[in-house]
Structure 1
Amino acid sequence: MTDQQRPLSAADRSYVAFVEVAWERHIRLAMLLCGDRWRAEELLQDSLVRVYERWRRLSRLDDPHAYLRRALVNNHTSIWRRRRRESLVADVPDRAAPAGGSDPDADVLRRALLALPAKQRAVVVLRHYEDLSEREVAQVLGCSLGTVKSQNARALGALRHLLNRSFDSVSR
Protein backbone atom coordinates (compact mmCIF):
# COMPACT_ATOMS: atom_id res chain seq x y z
CA MET A 1 0.00 0.00 0.00
CA THR A 2 1.45 3.39 -0.97
CA ASP A 3 1.24 6.55 1.14
CA GLN A 4 -1.55 7.88 -1.09
CA GLN A 5 -3.65 4.75 -0.50
CA ARG A 6 -3.06 4.59 3.26
CA PRO A 7 -5.97 6.05 5.26
CA LEU A 8 -5.27 9.17 7.30
CA SER A 9 -4.79 8.83 11.02
CA ALA A 10 -7.18 10.58 13.40
CA ALA A 11 -4.50 13.21 14.11
CA ASP A 12 -4.01 13.85 10.39
CA ARG A 13 -7.76 14.12 9.83
CA SER A 14 -8.04 16.65 12.68
CA TYR A 15 -5.12 18.60 11.20
CA VAL A 16 -6.77 18.70 7.76
CA ALA A 17 -9.98 20.00 9.38
CA PHE A 18 -7.94 22.63 11.25
CA VAL A 19 -6.23 23.78 8.03
CA GLU A 20 -9.56 24.12 6.23
CA VAL A 21 -10.76 26.53 8.92
CA ALA A 22 -7.39 28.19 9.56
CA TRP A 23 -6.62 29.04 5.94
CA GLU A 24 -9.44 31.55 5.45
CA ARG A 25 -9.07 32.87 8.98
CA HIS A 26 -5.32 33.48 8.81
CA ILE A 27 -4.65 34.34 5.16
CA ARG A 28 -5.99 37.85 5.79
CA LEU A 29 -3.57 38.28 8.72
CA ALA A 30 -0.70 37.02 6.56
CA MET A 31 -1.67 39.41 3.75
CA LEU A 32 -1.70 42.37 6.12
CA LEU A 33 1.70 41.38 7.46
CA CYS A 34 3.23 40.82 4.00
CA GLY A 35 1.22 43.17 1.81
CA ASP A 36 1.27 40.64 -1.01
CA ARG A 37 -1.04 37.67 -1.66
CA TRP A 38 1.69 35.34 -2.90
CA ARG A 39 4.08 36.04 -0.03
CA ALA A 40 1.17 35.71 2.38
CA GLU A 41 0.29 32.27 1.03
CA GLU A 42 3.91 31.18 1.31
CA LEU A 43 4.13 32.54 4.85
CA LEU A 44 0.94 30.75 5.87
CA GLN A 45 2.05 27.48 4.27
CA ASP A 46 5.39 27.61 6.08
CA SER A 47 3.64 28.35 9.35
CA LEU A 48 1.17 25.52 8.83
CA VAL A 49 4.11 23.14 8.31
CA ARG A 50 5.44 24.18 11.71
CA VAL A 51 2.03 23.60 13.22
CA TYR A 52 1.82 20.15 11.60
CA GLU A 53 5.21 19.19 13.05
CA ARG A 54 3.78 19.84 16.53
CA TRP A 55 0.15 18.91 15.81
CA ARG A 56 -0.18 15.99 18.25
CA ARG A 57 0.59 18.37 21.14
CA LEU A 58 -1.14 21.44 19.68
CA SER A 59 -4.38 19.64 18.88
CA ARG A 60 -4.91 19.20 22.62
CA LEU A 61 -4.65 22.95 23.27
CA ASP A 62 -7.72 25.12 23.72
CA ASP A 63 -6.75 27.36 20.81
CA PRO A 64 -4.22 26.07 18.24
CA HIS A 65 -5.08 29.16 16.18
CA ALA A 66 -3.14 31.24 18.72
CA TYR A 67 -0.05 29.11 18.07
CA LEU A 68 -0.51 29.54 14.31
CA ARG A 69 -0.95 33.31 14.71
CA ARG A 70 2.31 33.51 16.66
CA ALA A 71 4.07 31.31 14.10
CA LEU A 72 2.89 33.66 11.33
CA VAL A 73 4.22 36.73 13.10
CA ASN A 74 7.52 35.06 14.04
CA ASN A 75 8.06 33.69 10.53
CA HIS A 76 7.27 37.08 9.01
CA THR A 77 9.72 38.78 11.36
CA SER A 78 12.43 36.26 10.44
CA ILE A 79 11.84 36.79 6.73
CA TRP A 80 11.84 40.56 7.20
CA ARG A 81 15.18 40.40 9.05
CA ARG A 82 16.76 38.25 6.32
CA ARG A 83 15.53 40.56 3.55
CA ARG A 84 16.66 43.64 5.42
CA ARG A 85 20.22 42.36 5.15
CA GLU A 86 19.92 41.92 1.38
CA SER A 87 21.39 44.62 -0.81
CA LEU A 88 19.10 47.17 -2.38
CA VAL A 89 18.89 47.74 -6.12
CA ALA A 90 18.65 51.01 -7.98
CA ASP A 91 15.66 50.09 -10.15
CA VAL A 92 12.46 48.64 -8.82
CA PRO A 93 11.07 45.85 -11.05
CA ASP A 94 7.62 46.31 -12.57
CA ARG A 95 4.86 44.39 -10.85
CA ALA A 96 1.53 43.35 -12.26
CA ALA A 97 -1.52 45.14 -10.98
CA PRO A 98 -3.70 43.13 -8.60
CA ALA A 99 -6.38 41.06 -10.29
CA GLY A 100 -9.91 42.40 -10.19
CA GLY A 101 -11.11 45.69 -8.83
CA SER A 102 -9.88 46.94 -5.52
CA ASP A 103 -10.99 49.48 -2.99
CA PRO A 104 -8.79 52.60 -3.30
CA ASP A 105 -9.10 53.33 0.43
CA ALA A 106 -8.02 49.79 1.27
CA ASP A 107 -5.03 50.19 -1.05
CA VAL A 108 -4.05 53.43 0.68
CA LEU A 109 -4.34 51.76 4.08
CA ARG A 110 -2.36 48.73 2.90
CA ARG A 111 0.43 50.97 1.58
CA ALA A 112 0.45 52.93 4.85
CA LEU A 113 0.69 49.68 6.84
CA LEU A 114 3.59 48.55 4.68
CA ALA A 115 5.39 51.82 5.41
CA LEU A 116 5.47 50.95 9.13
CA PRO A 117 8.37 49.02 10.65
CA ALA A 118 7.60 45.29 10.90
CA LYS A 119 7.06 45.23 14.66
CA GLN A 120 4.70 48.23 14.61
CA ARG A 121 2.79 46.69 11.71
CA ALA A 122 2.46 43.40 13.59
CA VAL A 123 1.15 45.22 16.69
CA VAL A 124 -1.42 47.21 14.69
CA VAL A 125 -2.62 44.20 12.71
CA LEU A 126 -2.90 41.95 15.76
CA ARG A 127 -4.45 44.63 17.95
CA HIS A 128 -6.89 46.26 15.55
CA TYR A 129 -7.48 43.74 12.77
CA GLU A 130 -7.31 40.50 14.75
CA ASP A 131 -8.94 42.34 17.70
CA LEU A 132 -6.56 40.91 20.29
CA SER A 133 -6.12 42.59 23.64
CA GLU A 134 -2.84 44.34 24.37
CA ARG A 135 -1.90 41.49 26.70
CA GLU A 136 -2.62 38.89 23.97
CA VAL A 137 -0.54 40.86 21.46
CA ALA A 138 2.33 40.93 23.96
CA GLN A 139 2.08 37.15 24.33
CA VAL A 140 2.00 36.58 20.56
CA LEU A 141 5.00 38.84 19.97
CA GLY A 142 6.88 37.73 23.06
CA CYS A 143 7.34 41.25 24.38
CA SER A 144 6.17 43.35 27.30
CA LEU A 145 2.78 45.01 27.60
CA GLY A 146 4.52 48.41 27.66
CA THR A 147 6.25 47.64 24.37
CA VAL A 148 2.91 46.80 22.76
CA LYS A 149 1.39 50.05 24.04
CA SER A 150 4.28 52.21 22.88
CA GLN A 151 4.58 50.48 19.48
CA ASN A 152 0.83 50.80 18.97
CA ALA A 153 0.87 54.51 19.84
CA ARG A 154 3.80 55.19 17.51
CA ALA A 155 2.24 53.15 14.72
CA LEU A 156 -1.14 54.86 14.99
CA GLY A 157 0.54 58.26 14.96
CA ALA A 158 2.52 57.30 11.87
CA LEU A 159 -0.60 55.92 10.19
CA ARG A 160 -2.52 59.12 10.92
CA HIS A 161 0.28 61.13 9.38
CA LEU A 162 0.61 58.86 6.33
CA LEU A 163 -3.14 58.61 5.77
CA ASN A 164 -3.73 62.35 6.16
CA ARG A 165 -0.98 63.00 3.65
CA SER A 166 -2.43 60.40 1.25
CA PHE A 167 -5.97 61.69 1.48
CA ASP A 168 -4.84 65.33 1.23
CA SER A 169 -3.09 64.56 -2.06
CA VAL A 170 -6.25 62.82 -3.35
CA SER A 171 -8.53 65.75 -2.47
CA ARG A 172 -6.37 68.32 -4.27
Structure 2
Amino acid sequence: MTEEGYESFDDYVRRRSVALQRFAYLVTHHREDALDCVQDALVGLLPKWDAVVRSGHVDAYVNRSIVNASVSRWRKTGRVTPVADPVADWGRERTPDPTHEVDDADQAWRLCRDLPPLQRAAVVLRFYHDLPFAEIALALGTTEATARSHVFRALAALRKSLGGER
Protein backbone atom coordinates (compact mmCIF):
# COMPACT_ATOMS: atom_id res chain seq x y z
CA MET A 1 0.00 0.00 0.00
CA THR A 2 1.41 3.42 -0.97
CA GLU A 3 1.32 6.57 1.10
CA GLU A 4 -1.72 7.78 -0.84
CA GLY A 5 -3.63 4.55 -0.19
CA TYR A 6 -3.23 2.95 -3.61
CA GLU A 7 -1.85 -0.56 -3.87
CA SER A 8 -0.48 0.00 -7.37
CA PHE A 9 -0.79 2.07 -10.53
CA ASP A 10 -3.56 -0.29 -11.70
CA ASP A 11 -5.42 0.26 -8.43
CA TYR A 12 -5.13 4.03 -8.87
CA VAL A 13 -6.49 3.84 -12.43
CA ARG A 14 -9.39 1.61 -11.33
CA ARG A 15 -10.34 3.88 -8.45
CA ARG A 16 -9.79 7.30 -10.05
CA SER A 17 -10.42 6.91 -13.80
CA VAL A 18 -14.06 8.02 -13.72
CA ALA A 19 -13.26 11.14 -11.69
CA LEU A 20 -10.29 11.92 -13.95
CA GLN A 21 -12.44 11.58 -17.06
CA ARG A 22 -15.10 13.83 -15.52
CA PHE A 23 -12.45 16.44 -14.68
CA ALA A 24 -10.96 16.22 -18.19
CA TYR A 25 -14.39 16.62 -19.77
CA LEU A 26 -15.09 19.72 -17.69
CA VAL A 27 -11.74 21.14 -18.81
CA THR A 28 -11.97 20.21 -22.51
CA HIS A 29 -15.74 20.16 -23.08
CA HIS A 30 -15.19 17.41 -25.62
CA ARG A 31 -15.62 13.71 -24.83
CA GLU A 32 -12.93 12.32 -27.11
CA ASP A 33 -10.41 15.01 -26.16
CA ALA A 34 -11.11 14.30 -22.49
CA LEU A 35 -10.45 10.59 -22.96
CA ASP A 36 -7.24 11.35 -24.86
CA CYS A 37 -6.06 13.80 -22.18
CA VAL A 38 -6.65 11.24 -19.41
CA GLN A 39 -4.87 8.55 -21.40
CA ASP A 40 -1.91 10.87 -22.09
CA ALA A 41 -1.73 11.79 -18.40
CA LEU A 42 -1.80 8.17 -17.26
CA VAL A 43 0.77 7.12 -19.86
CA GLY A 44 3.04 9.86 -18.51
CA LEU A 45 2.36 8.86 -14.91
CA LEU A 46 3.23 5.18 -15.24
CA PRO A 47 7.03 5.49 -15.57
CA LYS A 48 7.08 8.08 -12.76
CA TRP A 49 4.61 6.27 -10.49
CA ASP A 50 6.94 5.60 -7.55
CA ALA A 51 8.33 9.14 -7.47
CA VAL A 52 4.91 10.78 -7.79
CA VAL A 53 3.47 8.58 -5.03
CA ARG A 54 6.40 9.50 -2.78
CA SER A 55 5.65 13.19 -3.39
CA GLY A 56 2.16 12.61 -1.96
CA HIS A 57 0.38 14.47 -4.76
CA VAL A 58 -0.74 11.90 -7.32
CA ASP A 59 -4.06 13.59 -8.14
CA ALA A 60 -2.41 17.00 -8.46
CA TYR A 61 0.19 15.53 -10.83
CA VAL A 62 -2.45 13.85 -12.99
CA ASN A 63 -4.74 16.91 -12.98
CA ARG A 64 -1.80 19.06 -14.07
CA SER A 65 -1.00 16.58 -16.85
CA ILE A 66 -4.62 16.68 -18.02
CA VAL A 67 -4.63 20.48 -18.04
CA ASN A 68 -1.32 20.58 -19.91
CA ALA A 69 -2.62 18.12 -22.50
CA SER A 70 -5.78 20.19 -22.88
CA VAL A 71 -3.81 23.40 -23.35
CA SER A 72 -1.58 21.71 -25.94
CA ARG A 73 -4.61 20.48 -27.89
CA TRP A 74 -6.22 23.91 -27.65
CA ARG A 75 -3.08 25.59 -28.99
CA LYS A 76 -2.89 23.18 -31.91
CA THR A 77 -6.54 23.53 -32.93
CA GLY A 78 -7.10 27.12 -31.81
CA ARG A 79 -10.38 28.37 -30.53
CA VAL A 80 -12.27 26.78 -33.40
CA THR A 81 -15.54 25.15 -32.39
CA PRO A 82 -17.17 23.16 -35.17
CA VAL A 83 -20.73 24.19 -35.98
CA ALA A 84 -23.33 22.98 -38.43
CA ASP A 85 -23.03 24.21 -41.99
CA PRO A 86 -25.15 27.40 -42.09
CA VAL A 87 -25.82 26.96 -45.81
CA ALA A 88 -27.63 23.69 -45.10
CA ASP A 89 -30.21 25.61 -43.03
CA TRP A 90 -31.06 28.15 -45.76
CA GLY A 91 -34.61 27.95 -46.95
CA ARG A 92 -35.87 26.23 -43.82
CA GLU A 93 -38.62 27.82 -41.85
CA ARG A 94 -37.36 29.40 -38.64
CA THR A 95 -38.92 28.44 -35.31
CA PRO A 96 -38.49 30.24 -32.00
CA ASP A 97 -35.40 29.23 -30.08
CA PRO A 98 -36.41 27.43 -26.84
CA THR A 99 -32.98 27.81 -25.21
CA HIS A 100 -34.17 30.67 -23.00
CA GLU A 101 -35.63 27.99 -20.74
CA VAL A 102 -32.27 26.26 -20.18
CA ASP A 103 -31.36 25.93 -16.50
CA ASP A 104 -28.56 27.86 -14.75
CA ALA A 105 -26.11 24.95 -14.76
CA ASP A 106 -26.26 24.66 -18.53
CA GLN A 107 -25.81 28.39 -18.93
CA ALA A 108 -22.78 28.31 -16.62
CA TRP A 109 -21.34 25.43 -18.63
CA ARG A 110 -21.78 27.27 -21.91
CA LEU A 111 -20.09 30.34 -20.48
CA CYS A 112 -17.20 28.34 -19.03
CA ARG A 113 -16.40 26.56 -22.27
CA ASP A 114 -15.44 29.91 -23.82
CA LEU A 115 -12.78 30.51 -21.17
CA PRO A 116 -9.11 29.80 -21.94
CA PRO A 117 -8.12 26.30 -20.78
CA LEU A 118 -6.12 27.33 -17.69
CA GLN A 119 -8.88 29.63 -16.47
CA ARG A 120 -11.50 26.95 -17.12
CA ALA A 121 -9.41 24.38 -15.24
CA ALA A 122 -8.95 26.79 -12.31
CA VAL A 123 -12.71 27.40 -12.13
CA VAL A 124 -13.46 23.67 -12.28
CA LEU A 125 -10.91 22.93 -9.56
CA ARG A 126 -12.16 25.78 -7.36
CA PHE A 127 -15.92 25.48 -7.70
CA TYR A 128 -16.54 21.91 -8.86
CA HIS A 129 -13.81 20.15 -6.86
CA ASP A 130 -13.93 22.80 -4.07
CA LEU A 131 -10.13 22.92 -3.83
CA PRO A 132 -8.25 25.68 -2.02
CA PHE A 133 -5.99 27.92 -4.10
CA ALA A 134 -2.85 26.17 -2.87
CA GLU A 135 -4.05 22.85 -4.32
CA ILE A 136 -5.21 24.53 -7.52
CA ALA A 137 -1.74 26.02 -7.90
CA LEU A 138 -0.19 22.59 -7.39
CA ALA A 139 -2.51 21.01 -9.95
CA LEU A 140 -1.85 23.73 -12.52
CA GLY A 141 1.86 23.96 -11.84
CA THR A 142 1.70 27.63 -10.92
CA THR A 143 2.02 29.78 -7.84
CA GLU A 144 -0.94 30.31 -5.55
CA ALA A 145 -1.14 33.94 -6.71
CA THR A 146 -1.36 32.82 -10.34
CA ALA A 147 -4.08 30.32 -9.45
CA ARG A 148 -6.04 33.13 -7.76
CA SER A 149 -5.46 35.29 -10.82
CA HIS A 150 -6.82 32.59 -13.15
CA VAL A 151 -9.98 32.27 -11.05
CA PHE A 152 -10.35 36.07 -10.71
CA ARG A 153 -9.93 36.63 -14.46
CA ALA A 154 -12.31 33.78 -15.28
CA LEU A 155 -14.97 35.21 -12.99
CA ALA A 156 -14.48 38.68 -14.48
CA ALA A 157 -14.91 37.22 -18.00
CA LEU A 158 -18.01 35.32 -16.88
CA ARG A 159 -19.50 38.48 -15.36
CA LYS A 160 -18.77 40.39 -18.56
CA SER A 161 -20.38 37.62 -20.64
CA LEU A 162 -23.49 37.83 -18.50
CA GLY A 163 -23.67 41.59 -18.99
CA GLY A 164 -26.85 42.92 -17.44
CA GLU A 165 -28.21 39.46 -16.70
CA ARG A 166 -28.45 38.03 -13.17
Q: Does 1:33 align with 2:43?
A: no
Cα distance between partner residues in 2 of 1:62 and 1:141: 16
Counterpart in 1 of 2:126? 127
Counterpart in 2 of 1:53? 47
Counterpart in 2 of 1:71? 65
Cα distance between partner residues in 1 of 2:40 and 2:163: 36
Q: Secondary structure at the match of 1:60?
A: helix
Q: Secondary structure at the match of 2:113?
A: helix
Cα distance between partner residues in 1 of 2:19 and 2:107: 23
Counterpart in 2 of 1:100? none
Q: Secondary structure at the match of 2:8?
A: helix
Counterpart in 2 of 1:92? 83
Runs of at least 4 residues off by over 6 Å: none
Cα distance between partner residues in 2 of 1:160 and 1:46: 33
TM-score, with length taken from structure 2:
0.73
Displacement of 1:74: 1.3
Counterpart in 2 of 1:149? 148
Displacement of 1:66: 1.7
Q: Secondary structure at the match of 1:120?
A: helix
Q: Secondary structure at the match of 1:115?
A: coil
Cα distance between partner residues in 1 of 2:64 and 2:141: 9
Letter matched to residue 42 of structure 1: D
Identical pairs, percent: 37
Unaligned runs of 5+ in 1: 1-12, 95-102
TM-score, with length taken from structure 1:
0.70
CA contact (8 A) 1:108 1:163 kept: no
Cα distance between partner residues in 2 of 1:68 and 1:146: 21
State the superposition RMSD in angstroms.
2.7
Q: Does 1:80 align with 2:80?
A: no
Displacement of 1:23: 0.6
Aligned length: 144
Say if 1:93 and 1:47 are closer, same or farther in 2 by CA, change over 3 A. Answer: farther
Counterpart in 1 of 2:113? 114
CA contact (8 A) 2:122 2:150 kept: yes
Q: Secondary structure at the match of 2:154?
A: helix
CA contact (8 A) 2:67 2:118 kept: no
Cα distance between partner residues in 1 of 2:52 and 2:133: 23
Say if 1:156 and 1:50 are closer, same or farther in 2 by CA, change over 3 A. Answer: same
Q: Pick one of 14, 23, 27 that aligns with 2:17.
A: 23
